[in-house]
Amino acid sequence: MGPLLMTPITDDPTAFAIASAIKVVVFFGVYLVTVAMLTLAERKVSAWIQDRHGPNRTGPGGLLQPAADGLKNFMKEELSPGAGNSVLFALAPAIAFCTAMLSWAVIPFAAPLPTPWGVVSLAIADLPVGFIFTLAIASLGVFGITLAGWASNNKYSLLGGLRSSAQMISYEIAMGLSIIPVLLLVGNVTMGSIIEQQALGGWNVVNLSVAFLTFLISAFAETNRLPFDLPEAESELVAGYHTEYSSMKFSMFFIAEYANMLTASGLMATLFLGGWDIPFTTWDNTGNPSLLKTALTFGSFATKAGFFLFFYMWIRWTLPRFRYDQLMSLGWRFLLPLSLGYIVLIASVLLGLQSLGIHAGRLQTGVLFVLNVLVLVAVFLIFDRGRLVSPTTSKMSALEMRRLRLQDSAASALSPTPRTEPGMGD
């Protein structure tokens, strides 16, 4: 392979600008189509779980159902509450939609692509701040949902917006803290460095299992998916913050939800499953870039992200919704202390291993794996006895509860049997 082909395309400003424009157009086109098809995938997965067919009449196998839904929403009438703030009412879905789209910009979805003008990184913006950019942009999505609830001038929408702001802010803290162990292990915040570290030292789902679990739970809460869909809660708040929305404004919230799911799945695949790294081989990380490497690594990344997307849908049709007190208690009383303690533990262990001369490799991976297993056993079998995530649970001792039950049974046995009035048994 010639030296010109191995040169980073950033060395040629014109080629870099053209490549960036092509990446933006192609990526966001594919991204929007993927998000639209996720609505069909959700219906098909739910139908499979519930033993029914799902959409099967619009196009072959129902493949045109997302297009039919989009056409219907375009043709529906746009409504706006008369007593609401019309400017913020229209701006809110745009904020939610744009932040969901921008969050993906720094995630590399395949190995670098060789071109006649140089090697092109397959991340739209290969920023040195890496996943910090993604967290910063994703945190802005709460403004769109909160503004939607307030600008509608509807009490159900306002309650949904307030719930969402409290929930997303609470779990953003746990999500951010769960990534710090990754930073400690890698020593860098760029996505490329994180993928390289996992290719050499093992995936972080093994090295940092507790951080992965914390990030996974926080990702469900951040995307407002079951069992954390309290901002919507159709049975309680009609439809939550988008009660007053219709037509494409209504659709933009759902597009943003599925876009956030896609971004969260890509982040989990990158931070904890090696990103585009193909497991059990170093071929994709060594040697010169090639079109075959780019294609196969893209398939690896898509498979990992697709697994998490399916997991989102699987959980939705499996678990019931949390109570609101359980939701907040899980974030503040359980995940936050767990994340802080885990950061201290991982930092101490890594410092101890470095002092012994043990760096990235199988020995370090084995030590971290055993440590994570012990922490998980302690978390699930010792610390959580049903009261950390259920603060309304009675703190009464078992002996006192038994005494009260016996007292109640004795009182019931001594009380006279109520007399049935004439005609009541007819």
Where are the domains positioned within the chain? 9-399
pLDDT at 389 over 60: no
pLDDT at 5: 43
pTM (2 decimals)? 0.83
Output DSSP code: residue 120.
Answer: E
The alpha-carbon radius of gyration of the chain (Å, integer) is: 26
d(CA 226, CA 323): 11
SS3 label, residue 161: helix
For residue 240, pLDDT beyond 50 = yes
Q: What percent of the chain has pLDDT over 90?
A: 12
Predicted confidence band of residue 4 (pLDDT cuts 50, 70, 90): very low
At residue 422, the pLDDT reads 47
CA atoms within 13 A on the CB side of 51: 0
Whether the Cβ atoms of residue 35 and residue 213 lie closer than 8 Å to each other: no
User: 182 and 208 in contact (C-beta within 8 Å)?
Assistant: yes
Please name which of 93, 133, 120, 91 lies closest in space to residue 263, comparing C-alpha atoms. Answer: 133
- Mean pLDDT across the chain: 82
Tell which wins on pLDDT, 285 or 38: 38
CA-CA distance, 258 to 109, in Å (whole number)?
18
Per-residue pLDDT at 38 exceeds 60: yes
More confident residue, 344 or 419: 344
Instruction: Quote the pLDDT of residue 13.
Output: 77
d(CA 241, CA 152): 8
How many angstroms separate the CA atoms of 266 and 306, rounded?
A: 9
- Residue 332 has what pLDDT? 86
Q: What is the pLDDT of residue 128?
A: 81
150 — pLDDT class (breaks 50, 70, 90)? confident
139: nearest Cα among 226, 229, 245, 263: 263
pLDDT for 387: 55
Which pLDDT belongs to residue 426?
42
Contacts 24+ apart (CB under 8 A), 343-352: 343/177, 343/180, 343/181, 343/184, 345/371, 345/375, 346/181, 346/184, 346/185, 346/208, 346/211, 347/184, 350/184, 350/185
pLDDT in tens, 183-227: 888 888 888 888 888 888 788 898 899 999 999 999 988 888 888
